[in-house]
Amino acid sequence: MTRINQPSPAVIKSSTTAAQTVKTPVAAQAQVPTRTARQATTRDGFQKAAATPMVLNPEFRAAVAEVLPGGEPSTGNTVTQQQAEAAVRDAFKQQFNGQREPNADQLAAWTARAKEVAEKNGSEFLSERLFSELNASVSKGSTYPTGDKVSTNTPAQHILEAAVKDAFKQQFNGQREPNADQLAAWTARAKEVAEKNGSEFLSERLFSELNASVSKGSTYPTGDKVSTNTPAQHILEAAVKDAFKQQFNGQREPNADQLAAWTARAKEVAEKNGSEFLSERLFSELNASVSKGSTYPTGDKVSTNTPAQHILEAAVKDAFKQQFNGQREPNADQLAAWTARAKEVAEKNGSEFLSERLFSELNASVSKGSTYPTGDKVSTNTPAQHILEAAVKDAFKQQFNGQREPNADQLAAWTARAKEVAEKNGSEFLSERLFSELNASVSKGSTYPTGDKVSTNTPAQHILEAAVKDAFKQQFNGKREPTANELAKWSARAKDMAAQFGSEFLAERIFSELNKAVSKK
């Protein structure tokens, strides 16, 4: 079920926000697939180049040349030793997701190559061009400009073991290391792989083989199944707790009855399939039970005895937390109304997933503009002044991602509008309704209720310069500020823009032109 935020206008925000995560009610959990062996990836370089095109990422941009309003370059095609080395390190950072730096030999080889590239193409985007070439070399199994394979001399024992541990870290997301037997078996395999292919990307190659073994139900090079000896009691219980952790995202543990029932089931599973991936197998069965409305191995429904008052109220508060992303709790009236409803739901369906069922009903009420079980509208009594002003400030916070508040004039204008909206629709979702109207005004270039343009009086010099610096911050992800020359030229351009369009969204307008200028470089 999709959470409904009332109202839901077409949004034209000043900056892009992350997508909201919508929690699925229990009725839909039958669609959840069982967890299996982790799929092979192409992380940290090995095989990554074949699937990854060059991306000019401004976060790693060397940016040693000025960018002026006309988009014309202003520097030559030479770089210093320090700049060349910095570009090389950036390229490695991009290729290996910040996990490794070039060694002395690689740094020397790529620095020489960096100078050649700069002499031919200029210093702009130097790290990106090097990344592109490094990416091509990696696709051939090397980290050098020529793309030649690395030496196949057998690495030292500690290097082999480190590669094995890293492969396990990749496979199990850092949650487990190989035991003594696994370490010995995979270290021997690592030696064979290094003698054939060299030590470059050794952990990635081992990860690929480990992933294949895992898909067969083993964590050994041969892919044979592990021993089916029954694990100790504490291991069985640990597997059950981990399965609950996976199922409920770490939010709850099994109670005593559930732990006993699932530990008995864990013993049966281990005797049949071995202890490898025991928690994953239990998670799969627990997931199936949950889809039937239970948290026990048999999938039977839980008791429908009425929970205590504090449990009912806790379920209501959790439902509000889910609906409003932890931003608000029910007031006294809402708590009483929903607690009575929670009692009815528990008597019919049991206390399992009570908060999820209440969330589902609350979500339906919200879609009708209410936060009560009946879905009736809330009172339209005019809220107090401080509540109106708080709603306005929250609307600005939503629109501008918390980066700015309304000034005195905007606060007065929108508070008056908030009063009108509350008298017509009630105070529920007041900030959301104001946000919708503010969003519409912003799309017209204004931050006032009428949508009229703001004053075109020329801003002070420090405001113009601040807008320019903000535009550079957006363009270069905070990695550089404008030079004195750029600041002067862009401030003059900002003055022209403000005279024509007003000072609202001045930084955004400058950013747009700066972005075009950079694209011409």
pLDDT tens-digit series, residues 414-459: 999 999 998 888 778 888 899 999 988 888 778 889 766 555 667 8
Q: Alpha-carbon distance 424 to 430, whole Å?
A: 11
End-to-end C-alpha distance for the chain, whole angstroms: 47
My answer on whether 53 and 96 are in the same domain is yes
Most confident of 335-349, 376-390, 501-515: 335-349
pLDDT level of residue 137 (50, 70, 90 thresholds)? confident
Residue 455 placed within a domain: no
Residue 171 lies in a domain: yes
Is residue 452 domain-resident? no
- How does residue 5 score in pLDDT terms, banded at 50, 70 and 90? very low
Residue 111 has pLDDT above 60, yes or no: yes
Q: Are residues 273 and 338 in the same domain?
A: no
Q: What is this structure's pTM?
A: 0.41
pLDDT score, position 35 = 32
Residue 38 DSSP one-character state: P
Six token digits for residue 256: 């005593």
What value does the mean pLDDT take over residues 485-513? 88
Residues 241 and 284 in one domain: yes
Q: Which two tokens stand for residue 388?
A: 């109106």
- Given 244, 264, 291, the domain boundary residue is 291
Q: Where is the domain boundary, 333, 349, 377?
A: 377
Choose one of 336, 351, 377: the last residue of a domain.
Answer: 377
Are 324 and 245 within one domain?
no
Phi, psi torsion values for 89, nearest 5 degrees: -65, -40
Residue 320 has pLDDT above 60, yes or no: yes
Neighbour tally for 338: CB within 10 Å: 26
For 90, the domain range is: 43-139
Q: Which of 93, 245, 100 is nearest to 166 (CA)?
A: 100
- What per-residue confidence (pLDDT) applies to 228? 62
- Residues 197/200/202/207 CA torsion (nearest 10 deg): -110
Specify whether 97 is located in the same domain as 57.
yes
Q: Check whether 34 has a pLDDT greater than 60.
A: no
Q: Does residue 388 register a pLDDT over 70?
A: yes
Number of folded domains that form the chain: 6
259 within a domain of the structure (yes/no): yes
DSSP code of 43? G
The reply to whether 425 and 509 lie within a common domain is no
Report yes or no on 145 lying in a domain: no
Has residue 498 been placed in a domain? yes
